[in-house]
Chains A and B, each alone.
Chain A
Amino acid sequence: MPLKLIDANNLKKSFGNFIAVDNIDLAVHRGEVVGFLGPNGAGKSTTMKMLTGFLEPDSGDILINNIDLKSYPLEAKQFIGYLPEGAPSYSDMEVSEFLSFVGKMRGINNKNILNRRLDDMANQINLKDVWNRPIETLSKGFKRRVGIAQALIHDPDILILDEPTDGLDPNQKHEMRDLIKNISKNKAIVISTHILEEVEAVCSRAVIIANGKLLANEKPVNLGNNLKQKSVLCILLSNKINSTISKEIKANLNYKNVEIQSVSNTSGKILMQGDEKSLDLNKIIAQLKKQKLHVVEAYFIKPTLDEIFRKITQGE
């Protein structure tokens, strides 16, 4: 088993009466990329803030590379690179200045090593074009990259990224995911996101947090499969729908979860629960044609992340 770089147990944190994080356990090994999924206010950021030492948990303990974060914060923090939510940075500083400030604060005292790391960042994160520009003049995408660069400057064993791809365009998102994948071999990485595909693309494990509780902790594939069963086939018809017709449709299709709605005088909608695997679209359309119904459009609706959360949190 690879080394456990993050080992958090029974983490609890409340703000006043509000329980932000409720008894969360989390272990992350070297080589793992763990994706935190959850709606806003679910406790993702609070958990990350505790792992990085920004917030102290009310109870529970955190070991960073086997060092107790509470007792030896300075030693433990050396191993962590952190991108806070919104990628804050000193907007009046130039990119190079800011990164070298963080590098020095991270303990890179040797000038040659610092310069080499800065070059690495410029190349790896594609910052060359904006290297000497004040951060306030940069686009959101570049600001985010600067945030990633400051988290990576000291080549940390542990990387904690709060919404690293938020605000990036699709190309940049792709690059960011590639970057995370490339560096993940020797690190333990925790990222938080709203985007399910992102978890499937880069994470080796997905953790769902809602209402401060850890509700799922499994491989993204399993999570994905779990969800596909809950997708819905939607078929639009250009026929008038009345109760007789809908009874006929139900009888013909002979499928459990069918819902038929009349949309207007000349159109209707059939909703069937299932995905591409469980439903044969051609057969269904042929079936409907026999009944002299005209199919205008048919498509699968995959559940959004919000729905998944609602379902998971409501225990369905």
Chain B
Amino acid sequence: MNTYFNKTYIIFDRELRGYFRTPLASIFLLVFLALSSGMTFFLGRFFERDQADLIAFFSWHPWLFLILMPAIGMRLWAEERRSGTIELLITLPVTNTQLVVGKFLASWVFTLIALVLSMPIWITVNYLGDPDNNVILISYIGSWLMAGAFLALTSCLSTLTKNQVIAFIISSISGFILIMAGFSLILSAVRSWAPVWITETISSMSFLSHFSRIQMGVFDLNSLIFFLSMIILCLWINIQLVQIKKAD
């Protein structure tokens, strides 16, 4: 059991360090911090709202992640397939599950670093007023879980291609569909022909509605479980896809 986690950790460690080996990590972190605070202050009207909370900050996360998570995750498998290193990985004494989980965790922890670096905004809001820090903590956890779901989806889809750009595009489009799933525009289009349970399933898949519930500070177990099961489902498909696509 120990060696099982050990191998996963070695994969995780290599992958996480990989982000910092290129300028990608610093560029990503800068873009994330600039966009998230820019949106908070300019689009979210942080000051005009005159409220000591971070709703203006968190409400943009689904849209930010829609672009940024595919950017982090696009290389996870596409690059292994392009460079042929997938052959090296698969012939090591390691299971596909260990590979998929190790790689995913690296990208997920990387986004955790980004979220932690955004904490000055938390400090600011505490300095300016008296926010409900429980709500903010839950929002951070929810945001990280949502990021994980986007990343697991990207990781899974990046197995389908050797081209990182294609991986990025299909992941963003799929993410967009999942965000929009709860919008009445989409739902009414589906409702006209599909049975109710399909409409409800689709609406329950919406990242946006789950995240906005968490964001309100409702410790909504359903939504947390939703993101977790999304991660597990995507990674499970990812493991199958690695097996199917490895030699293509």
Give A contacts to B, CB under 8 Å.
Answer: 49, 52-55, 73-75, 77-78, 80, 82, 84-86, 88-93, 101-102, 104-107, 109, 150
Contacts and interface: CB of A to CB of B under 8 A. Distances in A.
Given A104-B10, A105-B7, A89 B88 contact: yes
Question: Which 7 A-B pairs rank lowest in CB-CB distance, beginning with the nearest?
Answer: A88-B84, A84-B87, A77-B93, A52-B91, A74-B93, A88-B85, A105-B92
Contact of B91 (A53, A91, A92): A53
B194 interface: no
Nearest to A160: B91
Nearest to B85: A88
B95 A54 contact: no
A54 B83 contact: no
B93 A84 contact: no
A78 B3 CA distance: 13
Contact of B85 (A53, A89, A106): A89
Nearest to B9: A104
B12 to A, nearest CB: 12
B82 to A, nearest CB: 10
Contact of B88 (A53, A55, A107, A150): A150
B88 A88 contact: yes
Contacts, number: 66
A82 B93 contact: no
Interface size of B as a range: 20 to 34
Nearest to A85: B84
Interface string B1-38: 00100110011001000100110000000000000000
A49 B247 CA distance: 9
Given A88-B83, A89-B85, A91-B83, A107 B3 contact: yes
Given A49-B247, A88-B85, A93-B21, A54 B3 contact: no
Interface of B: 3, 6-7, 10-11, 14, 18, 21-22, 83-85, 87-88, 90-95, 246-247
Per DSSP, are chain A's interface residues mostly helix, strand or loop, or mixed? loop
Contacts of A49: 87, 247
Contacts of A102: 88, 92
Nearest to A105: B92
A77 B247 CA distance: 18
B92 A77 contact: yes
Contacts of A82: 87-88, 91
Nearest to A80: B91
Which among B7, B18, B90, B91 has the greatest number of chain A C-beta atoms within 10 A?
Answer: B91
B11, B84, B87: most-surrounded residue (chain A CB, <10 A): B87
A74 B18 CA distance: 26
B75 to A, nearest CB: 11
A54 B92 contact: no
- Please indicate which of the listed interface residues B7, B11, B18, B90 has the most CB atoms of chain A within 10 Å of its own CB: B90
Contacts of B87: 49, 54, 82, 84, 88
B93 A101 contact: no
A106 B6 CA distance: 11
Nearest to B14: A101
A105 B18 contact: no
Contacts of B3: 107, 109
Given A49-B87, A88-B88, A89-B88, A105 B94 contact: yes
A104 B83 CA distance: 21
30 contacts: A49-B247, A54-B87, A55-B247, A73-B93, A74-B94, A74-B95, A75-B93, A77-B91, A77-B92, A77-B93, A78-B93, A82-B87, A84-B87, A84-B91, A88-B84, A88-B88, A89-B88, A91-B83, A92-B18, A92-B21, A93-B14, A101-B14, A102-B88, A105-B10, A105-B11, A105-B92, A105-B94, A106-B92, A107-B93, A150-B88
